[in-house]
Structure 1
Amino acid sequence: MLVELLESPRSAVESRVSDRGFWRRALPLLALLACVTRAPSFVQPLWNPDEGYLAVQARILADGGELYETVVDRKPPFVPWLYEAAFAVFGSGSLTSVRVLAVVAQLSTAVLLASLARRRWGDRAGRTAGVLYLLASIGLNPEDAQAATFEVFMLPCTAAAMWCADRRRWGAAGAAVACAFLAKQTGGAVLVPVVWLLYRHGAPRTDLVRLGVGAALPVLSVALLTDPAGFLFWTVTGSGAYASFTGSELHVLGRGLTNTAILAVACAGLIPPVVRVLRIARTGSAELWLWGASSAAAVLLGFHFFGHYYLQLIPPIALLATAALQILPRDRLVKAVLTSACCCTLFLAWGLLAPRPDLTHAQRLAAAVAHRTDPGDRVLVWGIHPEIYWLADRTPASRFLTAGLLTNYSGGRNGPQVGEKYAVEGAWPAFRAEMSAHPPTLVVDDSHDKPYAPERVPTLRRLLAGGYEEVGVVDGAVLYARERG
């Protein structure tokens, strides 16, 4: 007993020294990798319409707007609030502040994965998991991988949920699941492996209650902070038409296969070890497989297959590869890291050198809008590029920042389920009320003869015919100014 008492404190001290030594070496490496892999994100002023949507939302909220009332989206509020906070501190004229936060988010995810792997398989596995994750984290089209959007800020929350569950901190695990959900609904899929860990550990019923309360309280609190009915509608019940495979099936399937192939290239160093180990031994770690499977189900949910959806798969893949590499010879680890580094270099070059014709189009339109309107004027951009509002620094005339919410064109639908009757429930009465109360000074028809063009949308066609005249064309987009009379 005396020996145990004497040795126990020394073991704890040695453990703390070992922890400090590991992180003193690992953290600078992971931080450097996070900065390098995210470097392309700072090259472009804006990467995709989601960033534009969030930037416009943040400005509206900063001016006293209310989420799910003054401005609406099919997403929970965590990321719009994050943008609003970053803009409040650093200004809204640039996305640099949220790009820095995205670097921090990716670094946090890598650190949590490294900690998970180190606890299970040792120091080398910890470094391996963090490095492999960061090398694969940009393995998609740069518009998806480099943008500071929902999935990037969701990932550290999902990793934190697994980290807490692995340490049987069930209340904290539930809170992390809630944060993942509040960043993006599909983040809640991590609850599946968390519950499995709870079951595997044989935790008592009180721990299940802690997990449930930890998950429920943040979500309920956010619902009360916004509008409970609006929160429920926009995040859960109001997306039936959006989450449908009907319409443009071949187009959507092609997108899914393309993005799957791109991610497979990025994970060329991770997938072979997992496949190799599956052939020769059981890897165990059922919760990692459940994490991967639930993430895959989240990617499939809604049948849109956008590239940024696939980011959710990378953390469990990185951990599964790390687990497999513990069984295989050391040369396999070297091969996996070198292959991942080469693939990462390829995607870095893509991000740094790829042209952005959509951004150029949006910038030209924004310049035209700014030239033809005054700062206090309201503008309606009828299209799928809400970033035009942000680039032009003009106030949207409607809470609906894209035509997708009013026509169901969202997600690349270009088939039969596009039109006024497929809009979000209650959207057109609200839109007509907005146009009547505050008619836009300028309307930009950026539809380019797509299925939501004005000639196919009676309400918009009547709006233009009832007091607007064509005043110009920019890159195929038609500008209409309100007639003076």
Structure 2
Amino acid sequence: MLAGLQESPRSTAGSRGSDRAYWRRLLPVLALLACVTRAPSFLHPLWNPDEGYLAVQARILANGGELYETVVDRKPPLVPWLYEAAFAVSGSGSLTSVRVLAVVAQLSTAVLLASLARRRWDDRAGRTAGVLYLLVSIGLNPEDAQAATFEVFVLPCTAAAMWCADRRRWGAAGAAVACAFLAKQTGGAVLVPVLWLLYRHGAPRTDLVRLAVGAALPVLGAALLTDPAGFLFWTVTGSGAYASFTGSELHVLGRGLANSAILTVACAGLIPPVVRVLRVARTGAAELWLWLASSAAAVLLGFHFFGHYYLQLIPPIALLATAALQILPGERLARAVLTSACCCTLFLGWGLLAPRPDLTHAQRLAAAVAQRTAPGDRVLVWGIHPEVYWLSDRTPASRFLTAGLLTNYSGGRNGPQVGEKYAVAGAWPAFRAEMAAHPPALVVDDSRDKPYAPRRVPSLRRLLAAGYEERGTVDGAVLYERQQG
């Protein structure tokens, strides 16, 4: 009975012609599923502030800006560069090109998982893994599952790392791990199962060197293409306050439990087979369990539990479910696929019908900003909606695109760990210098009495008192125009 969980690759994959026939039949199905499941992503200009942040970054970079200098973020550079490249091809007025890339990313992940499962078990396992993955891939709040943000582009890199390691292509596996890290730091967690595969295969020391070199070179290259000191600070050493668990513990834990429950519903067809097999034997593909465990650790890292963090769990869950279904009766496979399809339909409907009040607010605010400023004016939006810059087509007055980097509110906290003293190290001196050198024509206080409101931030309060007059409100956001003379 345990034979279905053995990890040895398939002894033969059939002739080259049969391989082509297999993929000719499977690829259109996976492509159609990828397009259908991500159809809601094309409905709205934006899904969440992360997309807005990336869009603004890409515009700044396209206009000669420098990452970690002209514009900053706590993320590695791969996804901002991807946005910049997409905008160079199709223009920066829409995220359609990036949404297409997200479809390609999900399809690539599904194909890699299908290839992994087919090599380990059989043709049916390949189809199962690819289909189950895509059905579950949207099983979160649509703002998390449909947005073309960091985690979506991490997924094909992690799947590629496992695919290469399974075939003992250690240099390529290292490069894939590096790409996962460069998409988002937590993507590097896939190194754990890759190292286990290296150890299990009894690879010589030269293979370990190949893996290390493959992982190091892309990261070093990215650091050199940006600013090495800035790259190190913004991606590794400068986020201590953000990663702290202190502050709004119940708020953050509530979010984590809610998102865990949502993903559990999405995986209703996958979890029972895995649990049933575990009752028979607690053995199986150790690297798949390590992949799941390391991905879970990545979700926990930083103690914020945003829904899009959970996307990293889905590929190993899909493969573990596929493994379990190999030793269960055939009707269990049909039940798993049907249940997953029903859950997918539920989440697809949620994505198609869910209202977007935050987007409506940002659009109204952007319209007011565009009306009150000229195209060349600099604007400061004090809030957590950087998409206002992109929607209004106005230049940010600061390299800090949200108030979070200056107050630590970006961690989703609403308690004591918010304020000037919790800002990223060195942020306030840089911000004051920017305001003195190029005072914004308009300041938008979009805090709406949250913990980072100007009355709680002395430096911003002094800036507004010294040179700005209140000129109206939009949905609770206050507009301040610079005094002349």
Quickly name the TM-score band, shorter chain normalised. Answer: over 0.9
1:337-416 map, 5 Å: 337-416=337-416
TM-score, length-scaled by structure 1: 0.97
1:398-423 Cα distance to aligned partner (Å, 9 max, x none):
00000000000112111111100000
One-letter amino acid matched to 1:153? F
Gaps of 5+ in 2: 1-10
Count of matched residue positions in the alignment of Structure 1 and Structure 2? 475
Deviation at 1:15, TM superposition (A): 2.0
Tell whether 2:269 aligns with 1:287: no
Aligned twin of 2:76: 76
Tell whether 2:35 aligns with 1:35: yes
Deviation at 1:13, TM superposition (A): 10
Q: How far apart in 1 are the matches of 2:174 and 2:277?
A: 32
1:202-239 Cα distance to aligned partner (Å, 9 max, x none):
00000000000000000001101100000000000000
1:93-130 Cα distance to aligned partner (Å, 9 max, x none):
00000000000000000000000000001000000000
Deviation at 1:282, TM superposition (A): 3.9
Aligned twin of 2:149: 149
1:43-54 map, 5 Å: 43-54=43-54
- Cα pair 2:145 2:308 within 8 Å, conserved: yes
SS in 2 for 1:246: coil
SS in 1 for 2:15: helix
SS in 2 for 1:73: coil
SS in 1 for 2:347: helix
The sequence identity of aligned pairs, in percent, is 90
- Cα pair 1:381 1:446 within 8 Å, conserved: yes
1:304-337 Cα distance to aligned partner (Å, 9 max, x none):
0000000000000000000000010000000000
- Cα pair 2:13 2:19 within 8 Å, conserved: no
TM-score, length-scaled by structure 2: 0.97
Aligned twin of 1:181: 181
Q: How far apart in 2 are the matches of 1:267 and 1:275?
A: 12
Q: How far apart in 1 are the matches of 2:323 and 2:175?
A: 27
Q: How far apart in 2 are the matches of 1:234 and 1:135?
A: 35
212 and 140 in structure 1: CA distance in 2 versus 1, 3 angstrom threshold: same
SS in 2 for 1:361: helix
Tell whether 2:448 aligns with 1:448: yes
1:160-190 Cα distance to aligned partner (Å, 9 max, x none):
0000000000000000000000000000000
Q: How far apart in 1 are the matches of 2:237 and 2:14?
A: 53
1:188-199 map, 5 Å: 188-199=188-199
Q: How far apart in 1 are the matches of 2:482 and 2:456?
A: 21
Aligned twin of 1:318: 318
- Cα pair 2:468 2:483 within 8 Å, conserved: yes
Aligned twin of 1:6: none
Deviation at 1:142, TM superposition (A): 0.1
- Cα pair 1:174 1:214 within 8 Å, conserved: yes
315 and 466 in structure 1: CA distance in 2 versus 1, 3 angstrom threshold: same
One-letter amino acid matched to 1:34? A
- Cα pair 1:378 1:395 within 8 Å, conserved: yes
Q: How far apart in 1 are the matches of 2:12 and 2:33?
A: 31
Q: How far apart in 2 are the matches of 1:12 and 1:418?
A: 59
RMSD of the TM alignment (CA)?
A: 0.9
Aligned twin of 1:158: 158
Aligned twin of 1:469: 469
Q: Could you list the runs of 4 or more consecutive aligned residues of structure 1 that deviate by over 6 angstroms after TM superposition? A: none
Q: How far apart in 2 are the matches of 1:366 and 1:12?
A: 59
- Cα pair 1:46 1:359 within 8 Å, conserved: yes
Aligned twin of 1:276: 276
One-letter amino acid matched to 1:369? V
Q: How far apart in 2 are the matches of 1:342 and 1:134?
A: 13
Deviation at 1:18, TM superposition (A): 1.8
Aligned twin of 1:167: 167
Tell whether 2:479 aligns with 1:484: no
SS in 1 for 2:469: strand
One-letter amino acid matched to 2:405? L
- Cα pair 2:13 2:119 within 8 Å, conserved: no
Aligned twin of 1:140: 140
- Cα pair 1:283 1:324 within 8 Å, conserved: no
Q: How far apart in 1 are the matches of 2:252 and 2:14?
A: 55
Deviation at 1:86, TM superposition (A): 0.3
Aligned twin of 1:219: 219
339 and 14 in structure 1: CA distance in 2 versus 1, 3 angstrom threshold: closer
Tell whether 2:68 aligns with 1:85: no
One-letter amino acid matched to 1:125? A
Aligned twin of 1:457: 457
Q: How far apart in 2 are the matches of 1:292 and 1:465?
A: 52
- Cα pair 1:189 1:298 within 8 Å, conserved: yes
Q: How far apart in 1 are the matches of 2:327 and 2:431?
A: 60
Q: How far apart in 1 are the matches of 2:428 and 2:206?
A: 48
One-letter amino acid matched to 1:116? L
Deviation at 1:21, TM superposition (A): 1.2
Tell whether 2:114 aligns with 1:104: no
1:229-240 map, 5 Å: 229-240=229-240
One-letter amino acid matched to 1:310? Y
- Cα pair 1:375 1:393 within 8 Å, conserved: yes
Q: How far apart in 2 are the matches of 1:199 and 1:31?
A: 35
Deviation at 1:281, TM superposition (A): 2.5
- Cα pair 1:283 1:323 within 8 Å, conserved: no
Deviation at 1:12, TM superposition (A): 8.6
Q: How far apart in 1 are the matches of 2:283 and 2:346?
A: 30
SS in 1 for 2:462: helix
SS in 2 for 1:466: helix
Aligned twin of 2:58: 58
